Amino acid sequence: MFSYTMPIQTAFIMFLVLGFLLIIPWLIYCYRKYGYLSIWTSIIVYSFIFYMLSALFLVLLPLPSTRDTCAFQAPDTVYYSIIPFYFVWDIVHGSAVIWSQPATYIQIIKESTFLQAVFNFLLLLPLGVYIRYYFQERYYWKRALLIGFTTSLFFEVTQLTGIYGLYTCPYRIFDVDDLLLNSSGALFGFLIGPVILALFPSKKKVLAKKDKILRKDIVLPIPQLLAIFIDFLLVHISWEILTGFFLTDHLIEVIYKTLAFFVVFFVVPVFWKGKTIGTTVMRYRLIDKKKRYPAWPLLLKRFIALYIPWVIYQGLKAVSLINLDMESAFYYYHVWISLAAFFFMLILWLVLFCHILMVVLKKGKRLFYFDDVADVTPTKKQEI
């Protein structure tokens, strides 16, 4: 049992890491494609990631304790089995079943060969269900069979090559029966897919909700936050690429990022008709109250509203970076100023968090403070 539970536990740990790393890319993809975060679509995608990790680790784990696997194998070891349906012969001739006594047939389910065959059949059965979700028409069964076979072949080749040379010899054999059973399982999963998928919203319902959101021209708060995040990230990355690896002066960093923020949040939308790089990625733009491209004074207000919290944070951070000797006459004042700066920073982040939470809960019925101050609003219309 450990040979099954350990790979699944490992897959779960890896899934948590990948799931965390993929949150932002997945949110960007969802809001770009559907205009909202589909919970069921997210469940299907994340469950698929976990399933594929589990299937891969069940095939490969546990790993040998040494790379030199040849040292523990006889020179004439055969690493492949190319006789189709050999597992049937093995079950018939290697089991304790007495075929003339039907009462003994129940013993088959206790045979390791039978259980291994069932496992191989079930291994890619969920893959067939996932394929049916994306290719819903029944005539795509050939595609499901091909994908199942290709996936199984990848597993078998990975084993035969000792994970592509990581180990000196294969530690599991290439078995043509595994190809047959895996592929059959994927095909069977494709055929019974509608029964399982009936429990989930169909892709048509997801697309119908997308059309409804587009007709209402609602830009939800999360994609707006993602757009801000993308723009901030571009500024930070540009600093790291151009100077961050060579300069550590905090003042120079603040000056550079101030100029970069001005370009990203003011200059670009002025000349790009209300769009920044982030809003373009998230497929929306900014307009004024009269449904026109915002004039530069409005965009300047928006930039200042976004810039003020950041520059306050940088100023408070600069205070915390000051190091004074305890013997200094200003040490006492520095301690109190640092403490005040810490609490002010804490209050600032708390206020911003509460504001963001309120806007998110309103689901687009309330503007973020920086758009409200500037009298601009987001729209999905690409032309006005």
| pLDDT tens column, 288-318 | 888 888 999 999 999 999 999 888 888 877 7
**Strands (DSSP E) found in the chain:** 80-81, 174-175, 285-288, 376-379
What is the residue-wise DSSP string for 175-217? EHHHHHHHHHHHHHHHHHHHHHHTTS--HHHHHHHHHHHHHHT
Burial class, 198, CB count within 10 angstroms (exposed 0-12 / middle 13-18 / buried 19+): exposed
131 neighbors 140 (Cβ within 8 angstroms): yes
The mean per-residue pLDDT over the stretch 83-105 comes to 70
Q: Within its chain, how far is the Cα of 189 from the centroid?
A: 25
- Tell me how far apart the alpha carbons of residues 298 and 377 are, in angstroms, rounded to a whole number: 11
What pLDDT score does 7 carry?
Answer: 87
Q: Within its chain, how far is the Cα of 35 from the centroid?
A: 17
pLDDT above 90 (res 124): yes
pLDDT above 70 (res 207): yes
265 neighbors 305 (Cβ within 8 angstroms): no
- Tell me how far apart the alpha carbons of residues 275 and 287 are, in angstroms, rounded to a whole number: 9
pLDDT above 80 (res 137): no
What pLDDT score does 153 carry?
Answer: 94
Least confident span in 28-42, 98-112, 256-270: 98-112
The mean per-residue pLDDT over the stretch 344-359 comes to 89
Q: Which amino acid, 251?
A: L
Model confidence at 334, in pLDDT bands (50, 70, 90)?
Answer: low
Cis omega (within 30 of 0) for bond into 269: no
Least confident span in 83-97, 141-155, 305-319: 83-97
Better-predicted residue by pLDDT, 88 or 188: 188
- For the chain, give percent helix, strand, coil, nearest 5: 70, 5, 25
Least confident span in 130-139, 185-194, 366-375: 130-139
Model confidence at 94, in pLDDT bands (50, 70, 90)?
Answer: low
DSSP letter, residue 263: I
What pLDDT score does 170 carry?
Answer: 87
Least confident span in 63-72, 103-112, 134-143: 103-112
Dihedral pair phi/psi, residue 36, rounded to 5°: -155, 170
pLDDT above 70 (res 57): yes
Q: How distant, in Å, are the alpha carbons of 10, 113, 190, 198, 357 from that of 45?
A: 19, 33, 17, 17, 26
Question: Cα 198–204–207 angle (5° rounding)?
Answer: 135
What pLDDT score does 125 carry?
Answer: 95
What pLDDT score does 97 carry?
Answer: 63
Least confident span in 19-28, 101-110, 157-166, 177-186: 101-110
Model confidence at 103, in pLDDT bands (50, 70, 90)?
Answer: low
Closest CA to 359 of 219, 240, 243: 219
Q: Of the ranges 74-83, 157-166, 334-343, which is most confident?
A: 157-166
Residue 97 zone, left/alpha/beta (φ > 0; ψ -120 to 50; rest): beta
What pLDDT score does 322 carry?
Answer: 66
4 neighbors 59 (Cβ within 8 angstroms): no
What pLDDT score does 180 carry?
Answer: 93
Better-predicted residue by pLDDT, 333 or 176: 176
Mean pLDDT of the chain: 85
16-56, pLDDT tens digit by residue?
A: 999 999 999 999 998 888 888 888 889 889 999 999 999 99
For the whole model, what pTM was predicted?
0.81
- Tell me how far apart the alpha carbons of residues 146 and 124 are, in angstroms, rounded to a whole number: 12
The mean per-residue pLDDT over the stretch 93-119 comes to 71
- Tell me how far apart the alpha carbons of residues 42 and 222 are, in angstroms, rounded to a whole number: 15
Dihedral pair phi/psi, residue 364, rounded to 5°: 90, -5
What pLDDT score does 100 carry?
Answer: 63
Token look-up 């939800």 returns 220
